[in-house]
Amino acid sequence: MREFGPFYKFCFNVAKTAVSLITRKDWAGEQNLPNEGFIAVSNHVTNFDSLTFMHFLGENGIPPRMLAKAELFDVPVLGAIMRKCKQVPVYRGSKRAGDALAGAERALLAGECVGIFPEGTLTEDPDYWPMKGKTGAARLALRTHAPVIPVAQWGALEVLPQCSSKWKLYPPTKITVRAMEPVDLSDLYDRGVEDHAAVLEATDRIMQALTRGVAQIRGEVPPAEPFEPTKKSRSKRPYKKRSIWQLLRKPFD
């Protein structure tokens, strides 16, 4: 059963206070959040939207177990906080990559919420639409049959532009968040994660639902096909290798 531990609650309240000072809430769809055991997925435009994502869930009594890259758990102080709050490390590109799903699966079976940015990193779409998703959220959903709730959001980019360290603190920026109805994957459960086509179909459905939510918020029409970084079908922003200090300032990319 999900619950805030004292330390998690303290950390959340500190972060909530900071976020509340520089943002205005425009939230809807809270009734779509299950009581327990679900996967929350959100679009990822800037490093700040990880905080607005957790703010939305936390204010609704949900302490999310966020999937985050394993390197963050080695950063002094930050890593200790994340371990204490039972966040889930993701060992990208290694033999331990499956450990994250195992930890997330245990959390779901215990009735907790697992928070995932299914794109795996900040979107590289030039217009900041959700790009092609990774399969982690889909595989987790097919293994556990846990509901997948798209949590579309927009506005964080105005507070902290992508690839920037310049924050807009005043006046407070409106952050729009919409929790949508669960993505229907029930017809894929019997096929399971062993069926790669089923995993890809589930991933596409999750990303399509999330993109629809972002489109509704923005009042715009999304691209017909999502951006795929490996195909380089549209212009990409240059990636810059960062120091530990930069990683601490921009931890979620």
Half-sphere exposure of residue 86, counting CA atoms within 13 Å on the CB side? 20
**CA of residue 163 relative to chain centroid, distance:** 18
Q: pLDDT 10s digit of each residue in the chain, 253 long?
A: 467 788 888 888 899 999 999 999 999 999 999 988 999 999 999 989 999 999 999 999 999 888 877 777 777 777 777 777 777 777 765 555 566 688 889 889 989 999 999 998 999 999 999 999 999 999 999 999 999 999 999 999 999 999 888 999 999 999 999 999 999 999 999 999 999 999 999 999 999 999 999 999 999 999 999 999 875 544 444 434 344 344 444 444 4
CA distance 33 to 100: 23
CA distance 208 to 216: 12
Q: Are strands 113-116 and 23-28 parallel, antiparallel or unpaired?
A: unpaired
pLDDT, residue 82, reads 76
DSSP-assigned beta bridge partners for residue 126: none
> Could you give the C-alpha distances from 143 to 82, 108, 109, 162, 182, in angstroms and in order?
25, 11, 11, 34, 16
Rounded to 5 degrees, φ, ψ at 212 are -60, -40
pLDDT, residue 236, reads 42
What CA dihedral angle connects 152, 190, 143 and 35, to 10 degrees? Answer: 50
Q: Are strands 88-90 and 65-69 parallel, antiparallel or unpaired?
A: parallel
User: What would the two tokens of residue 142 be?
Assistant: 């097919």
What is the residue extent of each domain of the chain?
A: 44-229
> Could you give the C-alpha distances from 220 to 93, 204, 214, 223, 227, in angstroms and in order?
35, 20, 9, 10, 16
**CA of residue 81 relative to chain centroid, distance:** 19
Q: Which pTM value belongs to this model?
A: 0.85
